[in-house]
Structure 1
Amino acid sequence: MDRNECRFTVLFQPPFWVGIGERWTEEGYQAARVVFGAEPSDAQVYQWVLTSWHRLPFTAAEAGERPRAVPANPKRLQREAAKAARTAGASTKAQEALARQREADGLERRARRSAQRRAEQEEQFRLRQQKKREKRRGH
């Protein structure tokens, strides 16, 4: 039986508080980002996760190693918790996935804009040609 895992990290990225959602499914690793604005309380974050987690725009699934199972040694757990508290924010893997998603969205937007511009130019050319023909006809 395969298991799905999720992680939600809230961190301060000046000037806003940001939440980074990560999940590992059978398809692979996915990440999403949400901006909170002012510092949310624990209760607000919990309420947000309960009501809005399903609406997060996760990136496309990519191959990724799942986090390992919880170690049995309590001292190791304590060391890892202290290390996680010291580190600055979400994993770099989440940031890389979000950056790739942003870049893909930008490329798509540029391609759509280019096609729209090309269509407008063709329409203007067609109108100019039609006007030329009408002038040549002589009214």
Structure 2
Amino acid sequence: MKLTVFFDGQFWVGVVEQYVQGKVKAGKHLFGAEPKDQEILEFVWKQLDQLTEGLSQNVESGYGISERRINPKRLARQVSREMEQRGVSSYAQEALRLEYEKRKKEKQVDSRQQKEELKERKRELKVQKAKAKHRGK
């Protein structure tokens, strides 16, 4: 699991990448103003689990499959490379895009259903009003 905090031009954003069996799940958290170390630690302790549990879309990647023990020097080089790298991986971006599209479709379905219910309710009121007029009340 990896947390990357960066400034996207307007807000500070944290992107969580979770690597499980060659697949990547990614979630986004908006910090707003520049977060202090304590804020980031509180996010990790309190909200990180909720964020990762809510993720359902994942993307295939070849990362994290090897079961071999990594040489400590090689691991240190990988860590330094990742520290120099800005932003998030392309796999994480793809997972974020899929998660966004899924939520967008769910929202569209919900809003369509609410519109239909409102239309049906208005129709029922119109029918009741017409019946009341017809009865002469």
- TM-score after normalising by structure 1: 0.73
Contact 2:2–2:16 (CA<8 Å) still a contact in 1?
yes
Gaps of 5+ in 2: none
Contact 2:21–2:64 (CA<8 Å) still a contact in 1?
no
Q: Which moved more, 1:11-20 or 1:22-31?
A: 22-31
Gaps of 5+ in 1: 1-5
3-state SS of 2:60 partner: coil
- TM-score after normalising by structure 2: 0.74
Structure 2 matches for 1:8-47, cutoff 5 A? 8-25=3-20, 28-47=23-42
Matched, 1:62 2:58: yes
- C-alpha deviation, 1:21, in angstroms: 1.0
Of 119, 124, 127, the residue aligned with 2:125 is 127
- Identity of matched residues, %: 26
Matched, 1:72 2:68: no
- C-alpha deviation, 1:130, in angstroms: 2.2
CA gap 1:40/1:134 in 2 versus in 1, 3 angstroms = closer
Distance 1:27 1:135 in 2: 68
